[in-house]
């Protein structure tokens, strides 16, 4: 882990409004961060990218979006391209969040296509993978993640080295039920093994699923857990800051 900088990314999901965002962003900016090398970022709803870029510009906090179109431009009503995200100086974009896989039927191949579109636009894709409770109970956690990652790995090691991977067991997202550090580490190690090749040691692999200040340190103590993707707790400045401390 010594060579990998810790990364704590917030996923606001479909929360926020101009007034609350201003308070949250200002609170993040006001916190002293000199004592930590942890990288921090927020992935916000599309309409608030301009507000976020304006607020965080020049700070050490990065920002990004929660989805991206596979297309560069054209007749794709409602979609947002990588170039548009770049216009708002996004650094990150989530791809394949379990909510999009489940509610928008995003396939493993589509998620890979989105990761590629992000890289083409000069963005860092945060590729989210994770098994359901039924899959975990059936002993299929690692095989599901291997399947989800296969089209992503097919983009080649040069591409993979520019990505962040987030392991988010579906049963732990928004449920208050966190994977134990050992459960998460087992999957993180399997993901790193699947990345193989030169450079796998460089790729940041985040854990996501009910991360809070109270459980973050024990997760981050594991050798292959390089940070967190944080949903609910990223909406409360003091909680998010405590995780990223």
Nearest to ligand PEP of 174, 223 (CB atom)? 174
Nearest to ligand PEP of 233, 244 (CB atom)? 233
168 is annotated as an active-site residue:
yes
> What track of x and - describes contact with ligand PEP for positions 3 through 32 (by CB under 6 A)?
--------x-x-------------------
Residues 171-210 that bind ligand PEP (CB under 6 A): 173-174, 208-210
90 touches ligand PEP by CB under 6 A: no
Cα→Cα distances 239→88, 174, 212, 222, Å:
26, 15, 7, 21
Q: Which two tokens stand for residue 95?
A: 């791809």
Q: Please identify which of the residues 91, 97, 106, 135 carries the catalytic annotation.
A: 97
Spatial CB neighbours of 47, under 8 Å, sequence gap ≥ 6: none
The CA distance from 195 to 190, in Å, is: 9
Residues 214-243 that bind ligand PEP (CB under 6 A): 229-233
Radius of gyration for the chain, computed over Cα atoms and rounded to the nearest angstrom:
17
| DSSP E strand boundaries for the chain | 7-11, 39-43, 61-65, 92-95, 124-129, 164-167, 205-208, 227-230
Closest CB 172 distance from ligand PEP, rounded Å: 6
Chain residues in the site for ligand PEP (CB under 6 A): 11, 13, 168, 173-174, 208-211, 229-233
Residues catalogued as catalytic = 97, 168
């Amino acid at each position: 882990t010594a060579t990998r900088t810790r990364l704590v990314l917030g996923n606001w999901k479909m929360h926020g409004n101009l007034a609350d965002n201003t308070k949250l962003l200002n609170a993040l900016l006001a916190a002293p961060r000199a004592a930590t090398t942890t990288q921090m970022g927020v992935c916000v709803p599309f309409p608030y990218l301009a507000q976020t870029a304006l607020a965080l510009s020049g700070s050490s906090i990065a920002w990004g979006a929660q989805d991206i179109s596979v297309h560069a431009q054209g007749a794709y009503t409602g979609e947002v391209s990588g170039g548009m995200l770049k216009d708002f100086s996004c650094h990150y974009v989530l791809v394949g969040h379990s909510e999009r896989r489940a509610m928008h039927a995003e396939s493993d191949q589509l998620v890979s296509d989105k990761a590629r579109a992000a890289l083409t636009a000069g963005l860092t894709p945060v590729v989210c993978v994770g098994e359901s409770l039924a899959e975990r109970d059936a002993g299929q956690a690692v095989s599901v993640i291997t399947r989800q990652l296969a089209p992503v790995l097919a983009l080649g090691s040069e591409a993979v080295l520019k990505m962040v991977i987030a392991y988010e067991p579906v049963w732990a997202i928004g449920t208050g039920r966190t994977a134990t550090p050992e459960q998460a580490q087992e999957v993180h190690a399997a993901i790193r093994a699947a990345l193989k090749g030169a450079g796998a040691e460089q790729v940041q692999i985040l854990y996501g699923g009910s991360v809070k200040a109270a459980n973050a340190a024990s997760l981050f103590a594991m050798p292959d857990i390089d940070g967190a993707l944080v949903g609910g707790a990223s909406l409360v400045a003091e909680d998010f800051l405590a995780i990223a401390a």
